[in-house]
Amino acid sequence: MTTDPNGQEEHSRSSHRRPDGTSDATVLALGVLSEALETVERARGSLYAFHQLTGGADLKLDRALELLRAAGHHAQADLLEREIVGRNVIPGHWTFQIVEAYNSHYYRPFTDIEARLRRELLDGHEHVHEAEMKEARRTHGHPGHTPEP
């Protein structure tokens, strides 16, 4: 952080500044890459939601089994327990294994390469494209359009 003329702390704008000599095409390309990563983050969140929802449904089956047995439907409860409770969601996999495979095979390599390209092409700065868009679209001097938090 830096201090403004009134002695107030402000965030440094250099964390979003385009490195000298960086082209518009490079900034745009890394902006699109960042957007792709944000989409992957959303997909990963959906995968975790799938994991939790499926696991929660499997645990609720215990109550269904209890109620079926209490109603005298032992054969049906046995069928449900044998065929569905604890079943793999895809051959050989519970949802946690799908999440682990996604993380190791796709998510981590994606985030590693995105970070590497930012280091190589933008000195590691994040959201340069977005910061430049904010600067171009804000109304200078308006209190609701300040350049930094």
If one counts the domains in the chain, the total is 1
Q: What is the C-alpha separation between 149 and 136, in angstroms, rounded?
A: 17
Whether residue 45 has pLDDT greater than 90: yes
Closest by CA to 64, choosing from 78, 51, 52, is 78
Scanning the structure block, which residue is given the tokens 């359009």? 145
Q: How confident is the model at residue 14 (pLDDT cuts 50, 70, 90)?
A: low
Whether 61 maps to a domain, the answer reads yes
pTM (predicted TM-score): 0.80
The answer to whether position 95 is within a domain reads yes
Q: Is residue 7 part of a domain?
A: no
Return the minimum-mean-pLDDT range out of 12-16, 126-130, 137-141: 12-16
Cα→Cα distances 10→1, 27, 36, 53, 116, Å: 6, 25, 30, 43, 28
E strands, 1-99, are 2-3, 9-10
Whole-angstrom distance, CA of residue 91 vs CA of residue 117 = 36
In a domain, 31, yes or no: yes
Residue 15 lies in a domain: no
Answer yes or no: is 84 within a domain: yes
Residue 34, domain member (yes or no): yes
Q: What is the CA radius of gyration of the chain?
A: 25
Q: Which domain holds residue 95?
A: 23-128
Q: From CA 130, how far away is CA 141, in angstroms rounded?
A: 20
Tens of pLDDT, residues 67-125: 999 999 999 999 999 999 999 999 999 999 999 999 999 999 999 999 999 999 999 99
CB 30 within 8 A of CB 132: no
Examine residue 52 and state whether it is found in any structural domain, yes or no. yes
